[in-house]
Chain A
Amino acid sequence: MSIIKEIHQKLIKREISVEELVKEKIKIIKEKDEKLKAFLTLEEKKAIFLAKRLDEELKKGEKIDLLFGIPYAAKDNILTEGIRTTAGSKILENYIAPYDATVIKRLKEKKAVLIGKTNLDEFAMGSSTENSAFQVTKNPYDLERVPGGSSGGSAVAVSTEMVVFALGSDTGGSIRQPAAFCGVVGFKPSYGSVSRYGLIAMASSLDVIGPFCKKVEDVRIVFEAISGKDELDATSYNLEKKEQKKELIIGLPKECFLKGLDKEVEEKTKEFLKKIEKENIKIKEINLKLLDYALACYYIIMPAEVSANLARYDGLRYSPLENEKNDLLDLYFQTRGRGFGKEVRRRILLGTYVLSRGYYEAFYKKAQKVRRLIQKDYQKAFEEVDFILNPTTPTLPFKIGEKITDPLSMYLSDVFTVGPNIAGLPSLSLPIGFSKEGLPIGLQITGPFCSDYLLLDFAEKLEQFTELK
């Protein structure tokens, strides 16, 4: 059953007040977060103040929305008016957001309660949350392991019930991969279905905001609230709800079950597929020949956009850090040299390279063409199947420090998740079970462009067969 609906019933029946609910969550955060380090900013006073006001409204007996009073957290690259928003970077250490992102505004209208801002890899660049300039978030199932990234803080906050839901952003897997590593549901919606206004831009043609929840039904509730056309984001639109077919055909890309896949991940996935095969679901093998190239394509397009988007951090705007330079050029060099961490600098330089004279055609333009072919590859697959399933990640959560010095091996942890970003497709990670050591394993469900609601219906159906009930 939906956790949000359960709380909603309790609020209506006055079995619990919003204040009690919010205080209960803050208590959990204070108990657990010293070790886990999911939060960068906790808005305790603001949250309790709002909770009290909502309790007054509740007393009046007016009809309330499902999200009324529900405590949530937002990744710290989503602007929240009057609250520090750092993107996990030193360069924005003092930055107080002057306005709300559209998603935050929409949740405010529904009267959900923001509890705090969660940790991330700097500017959402990374797969382990180790790239944060402030702290390293830990995996709640094993403190020596990473929670995944870049939305690691949000995944941990939901996994440990510090909040009911959390927002993240996904450019190449940053919602689904940490969801898989922390045993929660993480949803990357179709590109453009959720407004990016107020999301600190990383790679604008790939970035999407989406929810983390424990239940698929809750994902749907949050997604309905935050999605839809926004005048302030020209790429946004309204989704139509469609009717689900009775008999579904599922595609398993051969390419995902080859080299490099962890044995336990493979076994659990196959075991799960056997369970669902009995339920009017046909499974067939498909070829996504270009999937093997998606990561290479991503590591050209993404850094190119990063290098352009991050040019705005000039040491003049966004409450800059102190510096002693009196020359404008020196000020740029110093601000950006000191303010950006290693991974961010790496991606800016890579992007600068692939966009520079002599390399533009061979790298950037080539990648844009391959992007078209990858999109077509998926379109062709969806003529035969309704959804595509594969493990969300090729491995179990890895150890803290294991990949941080080898960028390429870190990039490879996104090998199964980048494809849907390249093609703009909706994609969800569903926790299906655990390894022998008790580490979570996720299954990725990908659907055609704009099939978001159908995908959520299907994920809910599959949820019954998981080991987490």
Chain B
Amino acid sequence: MDLKEVEYLLHLARIEMNEREKEEISNQLEDILNFVKKLQEIDTEKIEPVSGGTDLLNIFREDKEKERDIEMVNKLKEMAKELSDGYFKIPPIF
């Protein structure tokens, strides 16, 4: 895996890394990908992929409003670095 590819992945994953770390991780990712490639040996023609950990489907609950837990809302707000009118304040997107 070349450094360009590592940089592309880092960009997608929103992670910053220095040059030495990039070098190290590119070799490690290469090793791991070579290892997992052995799945290509298996014939999976006409096999349904598994998604999720169970085959349970359609778990419904009654469609009714839940009581608002003000205490919980306040606790979550306490974790924000900055609040404005009760909303999380974040740096501008653009």
A interface, CB within 8 angstroms of B: 95-96, 98-99, 191-192, 204-206, 231, 234-235, 237, 290, 293, 296-297, 299-300, 307, 316-320, 325-329, 331-334, 336-338, 340, 342, 345-346, 348-350, 352-353, 356, 362-363, 365-373, 375, 407-408, 411, 424
* CB within 8 Å for A350 and B29 given contacts A316-B80, A316-B88, A320-B81: yes
Total residues of chain B contacting the partner, CB 8 A: 47
Chain A nearest CB from B47 CB (Å) reads 4
Pairwise interchain contact B79-A296, C-beta atoms closer than 8 A: no
Pairwise interchain contact A349-B44, C-beta atoms closer than 8 A: no
Chain A nearest CB from B1 CB (Å) reads 8
Pairwise interchain contact B13-A336, C-beta atoms closer than 8 A: yes
Q: Answer whether residue B14 sits at the interface, using C-beta atoms and an 8 A cutoff.
A: yes
A257 to B43, CA, bound (A): 25
Pairwise interchain contact B53-A204, C-beta atoms closer than 8 A: yes
Q: Which residues of A contact B47 (CB under 8 A)?
A: 369, 372-373
Q: Answer whether residue B70 sits at the interface, using C-beta atoms and an 8 A cutoff.
A: no
* CB within 8 Å for A346 and B29 given contacts A331-B91, A337-B17, A373-B44: yes
Pairwise interchain contact B13-A408, C-beta atoms closer than 8 A: no
Instruction: Pick from B16, B28, B50, B59: contact of A346, CB below 8 A.
Output: B28
Binary CB contact string for chain B from 73 to 86 against chain A (1 if under 8 A, 0 otherwise): 00110011100000
Chain A nearest CB from B87 CB (Å) reads 11
Pairwise interchain contact A98-B15, C-beta atoms closer than 8 A: no
Name the interface residues of B27-83: CB closer than 8 Å to any CB of A: 28-29, 31-33, 35-42, 44, 47-54, 56, 59, 61, 72, 75-76, 79-81
Chain B nearest CB from A75 CB (Å) reads 19
Chain B nearest CB from A380 CB (Å) reads 15
* CB within 8 Å for A372 and B49 given contacts A317-B88, A352-B13: yes
Pairwise interchain contact B39-A371, C-beta atoms closer than 8 A: no
What are 19 A-B pairs with beta-carbon distances under 8 A? Answer: A99-B72, A191-B54, A206-B53, A235-B59, A296-B35, A296-B37, A296-B38, A299-B35, A300-B36, A300-B39, A326-B91, A336-B16, A345-B17, A346-B32, A349-B13, A349-B25, A356-B12, A375-B50, A424-B54
